[in-house]
Amino acid sequence: MSTLFLILFVFSHSLCVLQTQGLNSADEVNDSLTYLWPLPSEFTFGNKTLSVHPQLSLVVGGNGGNSSILRLGFDRYKAIIFKNSHGVSSFDRIRGRRLSYDVTKLKVVVHSDSEDLQLGVDESYNLFVQKKDGQSIVGEATIEANTVYGALRALETFSQLCTFDYGSKSVQVYRAPWYIRDSPRFAYRGLLLDTSRHYLPVDVIKQVIESMSYAKLNVLHWHIIDRESFPLEVPSYPKLWKGSYTKWERYTVEDAIEIVSFAKTRGINVMAEVDVPGHAESWGAGYPNLWPSTSCKEPLDVSKSSTFDVVSGILTDMRKIFPFELFHLGGDEVNTTCWSSTQHVKQWLQQHNMTTKDAYQYFVLKAQEIAISKNWTPVNWEETFNTFPTKLNPKTVVHNWLGPGVCPKAVAKGFRCIFSNQGVWYLDHLDVPWEDTYNAEPLEGINDVSQQKLVLGGEVCMWGETADTSDVQQTIWPRAAAAAERLWSRREATSSRNGNLTALPRLQYFRCLLNRRGVQAAPVTNFYARSPPIWSGSCYDQ
């Protein structure tokens, strides 16, 4: 970042170090807190109120200033910021009043022209909102970022600073000047979406992706297929999607490409999952030979080379859709009874001097080889690590889910890890209170700094057995936001002993912000996570 902005930031610390923003009303929410979610890394502010012009214009600079992703992002956020504002009112026009505004332009400087979106892309940014009064070095609102994705994160923060004032019918920024230097704590901040247990229309997936951007989540883990259904088109094996629930509950290749493109313009990667060898009964609806037998349909038949031809064909087709470097191969909950009870598979095991545990390892490692040959880094659920850690490919990313303590063991052996402890970060566990989600710590039990760096981040998981279009958003939000701040913000800033005073009001405010943006986020503190309010009252106190 430029020396100018560094000087500005250091100077601003003398004004008010880590003070907090309040709303412009004593009767709304606690004005001793900062109503930005997730909390930025470093910030200061003053005590002025600035008005924002309803025709706010974009001024760009840097090698990446002309990015279409930036311009689309600006247009999206401008629509959000001025949703309630309709420009100069008819009364002011009649009176001939000429209104003046403090902020008329948003200058965005993006240093890199690269739009490559991969794990660890630079999402840092500086944001300055200052009145142009002839004395300040920087006037109005300015964003500086190394990449367009950092600029998108800054636009989200800027949009949260902008508040519609109903008295003046204008958009205002309170507690200016704002000086914010921000970057994420973890590179991987994910949400799993399961479209096998219940089909989700493309527009609903897009709505989820849009809402993810509001909390600065950056990976959609698309659990597309499972034993219940196979909704994705695979051109190399067109009968696979006979495993869909109906012919109307399917995703074409074009649908998937559209979802990936939509996510990229919001700085979100899409990591696809093909869960093998278990969780794959639906594959046999189109290709019954993939089953060990018609009466014993899972795991996939390990004894046939054609099984791995299908796996390779699926991954070949999916590589044309999903550019993200990580690919999830599942590997969890593999019950090998079918292998030991089906005669031809049992005979194959004997010929190869394998136990069913050996065959499980054989299948997982062969699938990893296929994925790596297509330039993917394999991700596997933790059972693979728990069962044969010394055999896994060193590139493997271990995905924790069964409970705590797995990431410390994985990183101690040199593997990278993603934290998703089901006790706190499985969103279908509806009785988990928000504070348990918020206080979960991906680095718990890992004190060595070099090992801490192997924890890529974490992911909340929206398994779909009890969630479909009717309730998926209110099951995801707002608890996913609690994990999002844990993954973005500094650990020290989110480790207060009294979260009910420091985090809860802010999370309730963010929930209401989501509601205003059209996201069906549920009340924060209801025992049954997605249940509606029990009585009348303000959005900010449910």
Catalytic residue positions, numbered: 333
- C-alpha dihedral sign at 350, 354, 359, 362: negative
Phi, then psi, of 512 in degrees rounded to 5:
-70, -35
Phi, then psi, of 24 in degrees rounded to 5:
-85, 40
End-to-end CA distance of the chain: 41
Please give the radius of gyration of the chain, using alpha carbons only, rounded to the nearest integer. 25
Structure letter (DSSP) for residue 116:
-
Beta partners for residue 191, in sequence order: 220, 460
List the 103-110 sheet strands across, edge first.
Answer: 42-44, 178-182, 125-130, 140-145, 103-110, 48-61, 170-176, 162-165
**Per this entry, what is the length of the chain?**
542
Structure letter (DSSP) for residue 238:
G
- C-alpha dihedral sign at 245, 247, 279, 283: positive
Q: What residue has token string 């992911």?
A: 459
CB atoms within 10 A of CB 24: 13
Structure letter (DSSP) for residue 277:
S
How many secondary structure helices (H) and strands (E) does the chain include?
A: 19, 16
**Rounded-to-5 percentages of helix, strand, coil across the chain:** 35, 20, 45
What is the torsion angle, in degrees rounded to the nearest 10, for the CA atoms of residue 329, residue 399, residue 520 and residue 69?
-70
**256: CB partners within 8 A, 6+ apart:** 232, 233, 321, 322
SS3 328: strand
Residue closest to 351 by CA, chosen among 306, 391, 303, 307: 303
Six-digit token string for 414: 């040199």
